[in-house]
Amino acid sequence: MFELDHLAYLKEKNGEHVIRMTLGKSELPTNEHIENAIADAARDYAKYTRVFPAGLPELREALAAYYNAKYRTGFAPDNFVVGCGTSSIFRNLYQILCSAGDEVLLPLPYYSLYDFSAKLIGARIRHYRIGLDDMQIDHGSFAENFSDKTRVVVINSPGNPLGNIVGEDDIRKMDEIIDGRAVIINDAIYANTYFDEEPRSILQMDDLKTPVITTNAFSKAYRMYARRVGYCIVPDELITPLTVIQHHTLLTLDPIVQYGAIEALKHDDDVERLVRTYKGRRDYTLEKFRALNEVRALPAKGSFYLTLDCTDFMSNNAVETSFDLARDIIEKTGVATVPGSDFGLPRTLRLSFSTADYNEGIDRLVNYFQTARLR
């Protein structure tokens, strides 16, 4: 995805207009109250140069209050560990929970962070499938690939890249198979970006046999993308190990941006604006692609993304890889997409809703698929 995004950057540098459907970085501005909170903290920087490897106490208290009010949970502030986005948190969690030779069970398709973090520690990667036709978990493949060596199971809802939802029935079936023998990492970074209906959260399911860690961040719906404020909610027994490893790999996240995160939790009404905007773009895409025979737009239920199933188009036009297809599209249309091979779906493209000229980009893509012949 970053290679196509960089190619878009180079074209823009040469004066070309590129419609970027690459990264999940919202084009909408950060809420002014969040920016003001960061600016206020920066002006009084000496006051805020405190070192807290697990995050500012004020932010952890705010997160606990927010989650306990929204989900009727009973988390203590100490159950929240703040880090530099969720990428470093995933890496550190894998370091704590797995050793070389252990197994992690990931969704297919997957976000590449899950895969790469496992490779860094030498863990074996297995997958459970999510169907492109029904956007549902294949529980048979989950049962087949869970083993006594599995230490971590990752779920992502709404998912990246599909925008699929993992519902309560899915979680209970998975919990029955895991039976407390592994840990679920629940990547909830898009949990405030549902387009149709919001399912019951795993955080509200207090009768599971399996320990659950939830990861989240302020980069998406709160639009603090480059601020890198992420966090996770961990059971009591993981608070100290995760804090210690963060102390030695991160030391502390910039306190200034953490004050912006505290302010962000007060502005869910602003999040609703983003969700309405992206739902409209989802609906526009589905409508426009109904006219095509060789490409399917898969109906995302949430997240920042929608996936195009290009299997028939690639076969009929002898396109070998989704990277080749993405390169041809950006050269001929000026629309930057992401190859599905980044997520384990080599016959697809991922589109990000987060560009102001999104609908124009969809029109260009539809025209491309209707008229292009690559043989």
Q: Which residues contact 111 (CB under 8 A, 6 or more apart)?
A: 156, 160, 161, 187, 343
Helix, strand or coil, per DSSP, at residue 313: helix
Return the structure tokens found at 12.
């823009």
* pLDDT at residue 374 tops 80: no
* pLDDT at residue 2 tops 80: no
Helix, strand or coil, per DSSP, at residue 27: coil
pTM to 2 decimals? 0.94
Distance, in Å, from the CA atom of 96 to the CA atom of 244, rounded to the nearest integer, reads 10
* pLDDT at residue 319 tops 90: yes
Write the CA distances from 41 to 49, 257, 371, integer angstroms.
10, 8, 54
Cβ atoms of 327 and 5 within 8 Å: the answer is no
Distance, in Å, from the CA atom of 112 to the CA atom of 136, rounded to the nearest integer, reads 20
Cβ atoms of 187 and 86 within 8 Å: the answer is yes
Pick the closest to residue 215 from 197, 196, 238 (CA basis): 238
The band of 271, judged by pLDDT with boundaries at 50, 70 and 90, is very high
Per-chain mean pLDDT for the chain: 94
DSSP letters spanning 232-254? EE--HHHHHHHHHHHHHHTS---
The band of 375, judged by pLDDT with boundaries at 50, 70 and 90, is very low
**Bridge partner list, 306:** 351
Average pLDDT over residues 260-278: 95
Percent of the chain topping pLDDT 70: 98
Q: Which residues contact 108 (CB under 8 A, 6 or more apart)?
A: 127, 128, 129, 130, 344
Amino acid, res. 207 = D
For residue 34, give the H/E element and its range. helix 32-43
Cβ atoms of 157 and 192 within 8 Å: the answer is no
Pick the closest to residue 110 from 102, 120, 118 (CA basis): 118
* pLDDT at residue 43 tops 90: no
Neighbours of 361 (CB within 10 A): 24
CATH of 2-30+269-370 among 2.40.110.10, 3.90.1150.10, 3.30.70.1170, 3.40.50.720: 3.90.1150.10
pLDDT in tens, 45-70: 665 567 899 999 999 999 999 999 99
The band of 115, judged by pLDDT with boundaries at 50, 70 and 90, is very high
What does the pLDDT read at residue 5? 83
Sign of CA dihedral 27, 28, 33, 36: positive
Amino acid, res. 358 = Y
Neighbours of 217 (CB within 10 A): 26
Cβ atoms of 304 and 354 within 8 Å: the answer is yes
Distance, in Å, from the CA atom of 92 to the CA atom of 222, rounded to the nearest integer, reads 24
What does the pLDDT read at residue 13? 87
Q: Which residues contact 219 (CB under 8 A, 6 or more apart)?
A: 25, 85, 189, 225, 226, 227, 228, 229, 230
- Among all chains, which residue has been given the structure tokens 């989704």? 322
- Among all chains, which residue has been given the structure tokens 């470093």? 88
Q: What CATH architecture is 32-267? A: 3-Layer(aba) Sandwich (3.40)
Phi (first) and psi of residue 105, to 5 degrees: -110, 115
Q: Name the residue ranges covered by the structural domains of the chain.
A: 2-30+269-370, 32-267
Distance, in Å, from the CA atom of 279 to the CA atom of 283, rounded to the nearest integer, reads 6
* pLDDT at residue 123 tops 50: yes
DSSP letters spanning 52-101? -TT--HHHHHHHHHHHHHHH-----GGGEEEEETTHHHHHHHHHHH--TT
What does the pLDDT read at residue 47? 59
